[in-house]
Amino acid sequence: MPGRLTAEEQAVVEVVAEYVDRDVRPVVRELEQAGSYPEKLIDQMKELGCFGLAVPPPYGEGSVSTVCYALVTEELARGWMSLAGAVGGHTVVAHLLTAFGTDDQRQRYLPAMADGSVRATMALTEAGGGSDLQAMRTTARRDGDAYVVSGAKMWITNARRSGLIALLCKTDPEAEPRHRGISILLVEPGHGYTVSRDLGKLGYRGVESCEVVFGDVRVPTGALLGGEEGHGFAQMMRGLEVGRINVAARAVGVGRAAYEDALRYAEQREAFGKPIWQHQSIGNYLADMATTLQAARLLTLAAAERVDAGERADLEAGMAKLFASETAMQVTLDAIRVHGGYGYSTEYDVERYFRDAPLMIVGEGTNEIQRNLIARQLVERDLRLRQ
């Protein structure tokens, strides 16, 4: 069964679970409804080491397996999906630096990312489209010992608070095939970089999502991830394997919170002289919620194990993200049904779970795109087997 942890890793998951119960769940409803940035909670997460989970030695001391990272993410999302989201992009950038960064780049960023004093985000999506990334318009033109970046990105998480942006852009807009002209630049917000607006959202509140503009931002050539142009698309696809495991684990966490609330409510609430779970329809909801959530968790942990084994996990991470996010959609809806009218009330948490769940069907590649990727991988693997 996937999901085995060392004793130290088990302790990490338990500490985060206790933090969620003690510090997050009691305050989340008020913070979320006010739309406030959760400064104190993020500071506590820094102290717990949540931002260093993917920063290996010698740059950090608190790295864990991807399986452990997924279980920590599930716990954070069980408290508040926004907290798990704040760690997601940061962790992808840590993976990008570890796998592809030059020594200088790792040394410059990873130690500060490990303690959360520098937080990182990734900027891929543009207003014209997020699925067809290769059609992006943001360019980085070489000018002496710098690149001059111009363009705009959309939906950038933590845009105001990130000290490092892993920017996907075109260093050769004429390249064919298009992916050969795409690179990642490690951009530190500075002159010419503007957060042009905050985007209003259904859920995922507290953490900002912004449109950002790069108006001829000069970035030193040393900021090119790995030091060689044209590898950015492939690098980002590797990074997104972990990003999709984060989204899948977030979906499991939100779904679990919804299921646990529904279970407790169904035990306590009575109708027609008995607890509502004893009405078969409600019992069936609970059974389906628990079963599909367990399946989603196992898919997520199996994908995480593949990453830990050093293997490509695009198929597995895609399957986990697809199944877990659709599960979260169904489970959060069913939790509302179990709660009856109170499921619609802002005095309960289930309405928040229901607003947070849809982000997981869209973020880190929509589920339509996941199906395309999964199908392509299935055929490729089959053809390889039959060669």
Rg (CA), the chain: 21
121 binds ligand FAD (CB under 6 A): yes
65, 66, 105, 157: which one contacts ligand FAD (CB under 6 A)? 157
13 binds ligand FAD (CB under 6 A): no
Choosing from 32, 364, 368, 380, which is the catalytic residue?
Answer: 364
CB nearer to ligand FAD: pick between 149 and 276: 149
Residue whose C-alpha is closest to residue 92's, from 311, 270, 241: 241
Contact 202, 358 (CB under 8 A): yes
Q: How many Å apart are CA 82 and CA 287, to the nearest integer?
A: 27
**Residue type for position 121:** T
Piece of the chain touching ligand FAD by CB under 6 A; list 39-47, 150-158, 247-255, 343-351: 150-158
E-only strand ranges, 232-281 = 270-271, 274-275
131 binds ligand FAD (CB under 6 A): yes
151, 239, 255, 363: which one contacts ligand FAD (CB under 6 A)? 363
Subset of 209-268 contacting ligand FAD (CB under 6 A): 209
24, 53, 123, 322: which one contacts ligand FAD (CB under 6 A)? 123
CB nearer to ligand FAD: pick between 271 and 375: 375
Residue whose C-alpha is closest to residue 257's, from 74, 31, 11: 74
Q: How many Å apart are CA 321 and CA 365, to the nearest integer?
A: 9
Tokens of 129: 């489209």
The single residue listed with the structure tokens 């998951």 is 13
- For residue 188, give the DSSP letter: P
122 binds ligand FAD (CB under 6 A): yes
CB nearer to ligand FAD: pick between 130 and 189: 130
- For residue 60, give the DSSP letter: -
Whether 364 sits among the annotated catalytic residues: the reply is yes
- Cis before 26? omega within 30: no
Q: How far is the CB of 203 from ligand FAD (least distance, A)?
A: 8
CB nearer to ligand FAD: pick between 65 and 121: 121
- For residue 247, give the DSSP letter: H
CB nearer to ligand FAD: pick between 148 and 369: 369
**Residue type for position 104:** D
The phi, psi pair for 91, rounded to 5°, reads -70, -40
Question: In the stretch 265-304, what mask flags binding to ligand FAD with x, by CB under 6 A?
Answer: ----------------------------------------
Question: 194's torsion region: left (phi>0), alpha (psi -120 to 50) or beta?
Answer: beta
Piece of the chain touching ligand FAD by CB under 6 A; list 17-25, 108-116, 212-220, 362-370: 362-370
156 binds ligand FAD (CB under 6 A): yes
Q: How many Å apart are CA 94 and CA 108, to the nearest integer?
A: 12
The single residue listed with the structure tokens 């869209």 is 362
Q: How many residues bind ligand FAD (CB under 6 A)?
A: 23
Instruction: Quickly count: other Cβ atoms within 10 Å of residue 12's Cβ.
Output: 22
CB nearer to ligand FAD: pick between 85 and 343: 85
CB nearer to ligand FAD: pick between 305 and 364: 364
134, 178, 362, 377: which one contacts ligand FAD (CB under 6 A)? 362
The single residue listed with the structure tokens 């299921």 is 259
125, 183, 235, 300: which one contacts ligand FAD (CB under 6 A)? 125
Q: Which of the residues are catalytic?
A: 364
**Residues of the shown chain interacting with ligand FAD in the complex, contacts defined by CB under 6 A:** 89, 121-125, 129-131, 155-157, 201, 204, 209, 359, 362-363, 365-366, 368-369, 372
